[in-house]
Amino acid sequence: MAVSEVQGIKVWQRRDRNKQLSIWFGWLCGVALFMFCWKYISDATTWYFVVDAPRIIGDITSRMWPPRFSYMSELWVPIWDTINIATLGTLVAIVMAVPVAFLAANNTTPSKTIIRPIALLIIVSSRSINSLIWALLLVSIIGPGVFAGTLAIALRSIGFIAKLLYEAIEEIDTNQVEAISATGAGQAQVIAYGIVPQILPAFAGITVFRWDINIRESTVLGLVGAGGIGLQLSASLNVLAWPQVLLILIIIFVAVIISEWVSARVRHAII
Amino acid sequence: MNSTLTTTRTWRKKPVVESARMRWFLGIGVALYLSTAIGSMEVNWSRVYEGLDRGWAFVIAFTSPDFAGRWSDIRSGLIESLVMTVTSTAIGILLSVPIGLGAARNIAPRPVYLLCRGIIAVSRALQEIIVAILMVAIFGFGPFAGVVTLSFATIGFLAKLLAEDIEDSSKDQLEAIRATGASWSQLMNYGIQPQVMPRLIGLSMYRLDINFRESTVLGLVGAGGIGATLNTSFDRYEFDTAAAIIITIIVLVMIAEYTSGLIRTRLQ
């Protein structure tokens, strides 16, 4: 709280002068950085296209409408594939993420100096790389198809699930663990009866949340050839079949809303 | 007492699902789904087997990533990604603040509230890549389409969390400011802003992080950034270049995550 005197009248200001000045300086730097970056973007942009955008939007909308519902018959299998990619990918990710989470948590890791950093590195690498990049990589290694998509989803999800799970493990109530180990339980029994019951709700919540995200991501994996409805999307885009594109977009929209609803319901029931 | 001592009773863990019928139903359902799902997945094992060599070559490539060969491509791609990240986060924040204010039930009138919640819902439901495809179709190839995409995606994230934070903010402070006869803008400035600012900065840093990660794939659909370079290197099976790009992305994400974590803990 700073009060300054202007012509004998006390005036209240929120911050004193130095703090105000440093905040202004911060803003100046931020705005300068933004303008610099904007200049770069602006130079790389063909402004003619941007000015022309409203006409293009009108043009595309008129080409899109109405959606071609007869195309639906060819979409049932891709939809089934998409759901499978997300679900099986999540399951594979769980199998791999649970041990990683136990190795990464401070209170359960067998070795803080060697194993924990390795587990954390696995988590960071898996999280930093988008599932589309994983898919790109797997398609070039094991060929296009649903299998590559499932693995891509799984590899991306390991980091997410393991990170949230190991944070949950680190936050458990130690009294219960102590009580179990006081009965003479072994290491495995402590984990099974002392730790697992405590993290089970968090685990279920994390899994369903990730499944919801995976449904979204698996809809676009087809763009790089990794199966699912994205294959039809990219095929339709390539031949500029806009009514089919619109139908696929509507399906993806509906799928996302349903999966979000399911995951919200399940998480609500658990917590 | 004696009789209880002689009979041994063993304790068993309570099952997760109480009713036995429900357990069977769930078990059979899951087994059925898994068998049909795995059965419908066509895996070309000979192709996978062939690919193992290439997979191994890729793993090996991580030990000798080739930064030098295509350095100019990597450099310009990365700079483009970073520039897109900064620009789109800044624009996203600028748009999110008014929309977030509008989407907070306790300060916005009903029609404004519904409109802003609608914008947020649409932004959250549309995936970045799909938006990017449409933006590329509208604005043409290049980073501008990517910036528009990421700014739009930022709204769904930032405005939603900001609105929730405003709804959770203390009423007493608002009332106190209002009692001094403050105008609407003064109310926002002195009543709301100090309460939500730390969280807003934290979320913005987090979003900066997410936007960088997303900007690395937008190139796949022609919306600028490092993704295009990565795609080309995979297409040519230049795994050492791809490894170099991926390592750079991981390192940059780690730096971003670490700094944003540092700033967030200092603010709280």
Q: How confident is the model at residue B1 (pLDDT cuts 50, 70, 90)?
A: very low
* Range B135-155 average pLDDT: 90
Q: Which residues 62-101 of B have a C-beta within 8 angstroms of A?
A: 79-80, 83-84, 86-87, 90
Q: Are B130 and B34 in the same domain?
A: no
pTM (2 decimals)? Answer: 0.82
Q: Are B138 and B237 in the same domain?
A: yes
Q: Are B195 and B151 in the same domain?
A: yes
**Helix spans in A129-241 (H):** 131-142, 146-170, 174-182, 187-189, 196-218, 229-238
Which domains can be identified in chain A, with CATH numbers? 2-63 (no CATH), 74-270 (1.10.3720.10)
Q: Are B186 and B128 in the same domain?
A: yes
Distance of residue B192 Cα from the nearest chain A Cα, in angstroms: 14
CATH number of the domain that B101 lies in? Answer: 1.10.3720.10
Per-residue pLDDT reduced to its tens digit, B108-135: 888 999 999 999 988 888 888 889 988 9
Q: Which domain holds residue B156?
A: 70-267
Q: At residue B106, what are phi and psi to the nearest 5 degrees?
A: -80, -15
Closest partner residue to A45 (CB to CB) among B37, B144, B230 is B144
Q: Report yes or no: B219 at the A interface, CB cutoff 8 Å.
A: no
Q: Is the pLDDT of residue B267 over 90?
A: no
Q: Report yes or no: B10 at the A interface, CB cutoff 8 Å.
A: no
Please, are residues B177 and B190 in contact by the beta-carbon 8 Å criterion?
A: yes
Q: Which residue of A has its CA nearest to B143?
A: A41
Q: Which of B37, B60, B83 is the last residue of a domain?
A: B60
Residue B1 inside a domain? The answer is: no
Closest partner residue to B217 (CB to CB) among A130, A145, A219 is A130
Residue B5 inside a domain? The answer is: no
How far is it, in rounded angstroms, from Cα A179 to Cα A177?
5
How many C-beta atoms surround the C-beta of residue A15 within 10 A? 12
Q: Are B55 and B75 in the same domain?
A: no
Per-residue pLDDT reduced to its tens digit, B164-217: 888 888 888 888 888 988 888 888 888 888 888 888 888 888 888 889 888 888
Percentage, residues of chain B above pLDDT 90: 18
Residue B4 inside a domain? The answer is: no
Mean pLDDT of chain B: 85
Q: Structurally, how many domains does chain B consist of?
A: 2
Q: Are B31 and B145 in the same domain?
A: no
Q: Which of B60, B80, B110 is the last residue of a domain?
A: B60
Q: Are B44 and B176 in the same domain?
A: no
Residue B81 inside a domain? The answer is: yes
Q: Are B191 and B245 in the same domain?
A: yes
Q: Answer yes or no: do A141 and B90 touch at CB < 8 A.
A: no
Q: Which residue of A has its CA nearest to B46?
A: A142
Most confident of A33-47, A150-164, A247-261, B237-251: A150-164
Q: Report yes or no: A144 at the B interface, CB cutoff 8 Å.
A: no
Residues ≥6 apart with Cβ < 8 Å to A126? A155, A156, A157, A158, A159, A160, A162
Q: Which of B8, B34, B60 is the last residue of a domain?
A: B60
Residue B11 inside a domain? The answer is: no
Please, are residues A90 and A266 in contact by the beta-carbon 8 Å criterion?
A: no
Q: Are B207 and B108 in the same domain?
A: yes
Preceding peptide of A78 cis, ω within 30°: no
Per-residue pLDDT reduced to its tens digit, B153-174: 999 999 999 998 888 888 888 8
Per-residue pLDDT reduced to its tens digit, A27-59: 999 999 999 989 988 888 878 888 888 888 888
Q: Answer yes or no: do A80 and B40 touch at CB < 8 A.
A: yes
How far is it, in rounded angstroms, from Cα B249 to Cα A129?
8
Distance of residue A190 Cα from the nearest chain B Cα, in angstroms: 13
Query: Is the dihedral angle over the CA atoms A158, A161, A165, A166 positive or is it negative?
Result: positive
Q: Are B46 and B139 in the same domain?
A: no
Residues from chain B that touch A252, judged by Cβ atoms under 8 A, are 127, 130
Residue B47 inside a domain? The answer is: yes
Residue B116 inside a domain? The answer is: yes
- Tokens at A69, concatenated: 């519902």
Q: Are B44 and B141 in the same domain?
A: no
Q: Are B25 and B80 in the same domain?
A: no
Cα–Cα nearest to B95, from B114, B116, B76, B72: B116
Residue B46 inside a domain? The answer is: yes
